[in-house]
Amino acid sequence: MTRLEVLKTYKLYIGGKFPRSESGRSYEVLSANGAFLANAAKASRKDARDAVVAARSAVSGWSGATGYNRGQVLYRIAELLEGRRAQFIDEISATEGVSAAVARAQVDAAIDVWVWYAGWADKYLQVAGNGNPVSGPYFNISTPEPTGVVAIIAPQDSSLLGLVSVVAPALVSGNTVVVVSSERLPLSAISLSEVLATSDVPAGVINVLTGSAAEIAPWLASHADVNALDLAGAGSLDWVDLQIAAADTLKRVIPPEDGAVAPSVERVTFFTETKTVWHTKAII
């Protein structure tokens, strides 16, 4: 018997839930050869604001967790992603038009990125923090703390690896994230959201928006409750204006990057603020 194909409508991922865009808009996601694959939600300004609210509400719980616990959570994402490799390989092959072998390599690299950053969650403090030499009977200690809510424009030419490479480091220190996925290649981003929803990641820690980065980015750049902005995938946008908008609310900004975003501890510490504490030494 011939049956109807059940076509999937991909939704946003905000606050641990999968809402449609409040605007009701969606757009067609096409394969590399132009065939229809699915519909994806087209996020609006209101969706971006809702995502920031969700991210802000999750900051205290996520930043309050121990580095060891955050590392476990990130590693759990890698475990679940490993179990769904076949789905991601199929999606990447279809949307990017690459062979299964190339798609498999991208999925494996994305899993490795989660594992790499999971390992740093309880170690980066030893690299970024320090005891400062002072003249006097004091201890002077500097330690990094999360900056808060990080808005990210994901690389637009990578389905999965580009997204993971910019989201994972922002989470390590306890920040929460609002990420705008690749507009043309959004399927892996929402499939990853389904992984997150069944993992140990608390609701609101990662929020995924699909749609037009050009439309959403200005609202995130100017939002007063966003503390930092990663423009890794904003090379085709007017990113200078985005930096100017971010400066109005004193955000730290990573400018657009060419090519792959390589794992680095510097990308973790960029999204931290340094707290310095003075403490008197006991006089015996």
Res 142: pLDDT: 79
Residue 283 confidence class, pLDDT cut points 50, 70, 90: low
Percent of the chain's residues with pLDDT above 70: 99
Beta-bridge partner residues of 253: 229
Amino acid type, 195: V
- Mean pLDDT of the 197-221 span: 96
Q: What is the DSSP string of 172-232?
A: HTT-EEEEE--SSS-HHHHHHHHHHHTSSPPTTSEEEE-S-HHHHHHHHHH-TT--EEE-T
Least confident of 64-73, 90-99, 121-130, 198-207: 121-130
pLDDT of 130 > 90? The answer is no
Indicate the fold that domain 9-280 takes in CATH: Aldehyde Dehydrogenase; Chain A, domain 1 (3.40.605)
The per-residue pLDDT of the chain, averaged, comes to 93
Mind listing the pLDDT tens digit for each residue in 159-177? Answer: 999 999 999 999 999 999 9
Phi/psi of residue 191, nearest 5 degrees? -65, -40
> Model-level pTM?
0.93
pLDDT, average across residues 103-116: 97
What the block records as the tokens of 133 is 């030499």
Higher pLDDT, 211 or 260: 211
- Every domain of the chain and the residues it spans: 9-280
| Both tokens assigned to 18 | 């999968």
pLDDT at 284 over 70: no
